[in-house]
Amino acid sequence: MNLTGTPISELEIDTALVFNLLKEQHPDLSHLPIQLFDTGWDNAIFRLGDCLCVRLPRRKVAATLIENEQTWLPIIADRLTITVSTPCRVGNPTSNYPWRWSILPWLTGLTAEREKPNLNQAKLFALFLRSLHLPAPINAPSNLVRGVPLEQRRLVIEKRMQRLESKTNLITKTIKNIWNEALNTPIDLEVKWLHGDLHPGNILVKNGVIVGIIDWGDITSGDVATDLAAIWMLFPDRDARQKAIAEYSISRQTLQRAKGWAIYFAITLLDVGLIDNPRQAIIGERTLRCVAEDETDNPTINV
């Protein structure tokens, strides 16, 4: 992970490259208009006509992630209670592009940091998480930065915290206390399937309804607390968060770890976002404020 900002693309990906890949491997789609839609940390996304999009890894580390999505998401997609964008075609490496890539259905809606979900979506989101969080097979993909014990991510996040203390007033005593308790809270559940990256930029909303979950590159097995962190990133209203927690039926230990993972994502998004991505910085700030707000309901945490 680039500690100075959004990771830099390791090669140039433009509409000409996408057109050539399509013409060579999926010629029946090469006549459709191609337009760059967005670039994330790992992938470049191009709109392809009205109903499709193309997702291409922009750095080597993402190549394995997109292969995991291509392999595993189709296996679990049918049981999920919210629509997901499952790859409908696969692209292979060429002399001009070294990694596999995907063609996927285009899902309508705005990302959740642009359009907030209605309060009644809290229970529905919890039901989605329950439909996802089923035991994963022994050969499910692993991920070094998702679903793992938080202690394994401590040094990275605490370095980010130190940087943010000099830039913001968000790294409060309350946030540090919650983080430290989460670090010391053991995992009390078997490993299950995870999305792995459920921040608002990967959740689509239309007219207040959550209509899609995208970007499954971090799909993995591990601690469900990683995904439960989305509750604090997605719902600014405390009542909505409480409804989601109650519907999912989260144990106290898992709840503490989920708050720790919410801090993990918030710190990462805020630290990088303050450098070159204001939208991510806003998500990080809001998430920290939500986690701190909920702590008034849990006075048992000690300094």
How would you write the pLDDT of the chain (303 residues) with one tens digit per residue? 444 677 888 899 999 999 999 999 999 999 999 999 998 889 999 999 999 999 999 999 899 999 999 999 999 999 999 999 999 999 999 999 999 999 999 999 999 999 999 999 999 999 999 999 999 999 999 999 999 999 999 999 999 999 999 999 999 999 999 999 999 999 999 999 999 999 999 999 999 999 999 999 999 999 999 999 999 999 999 999 999 999 999 999 999 999 999 999 999 999 999 998 899 999 999 999 999 999 865 543 322
Kindly give the pairing relationship between strand 209-213 and strand 110-111.
Answer: unpaired
pTM (2 decimals)? 0.93
Residues 53 and 98 in one domain: yes
**Final residue of a structural domain among 106, 141, 171:** 106
Is the distance from CB of 37 to CB of 53 less than 8 angstroms? yes
Domain residues for the domain of 97 are 15-106
Burial 9-47 (b: 16+ CB within 10 A, else e): eeeebeeebbeebbeebbeebbebebeeeeebbbbbbbb
Total structural domains within the chain: 2
**Final residue of a structural domain among 60, 91, 106:** 106
The CA angle 281-223-303, to the nearest 5 degrees, is 65
Residue 135 per-residue DSSP state: B
Residue type, 211: V
Residues 268 and 190 in one domain: yes
Residues 197 and 244 in one domain: yes
d(CA 49, CA 41): 24
d(CA 92, CA 25): 8
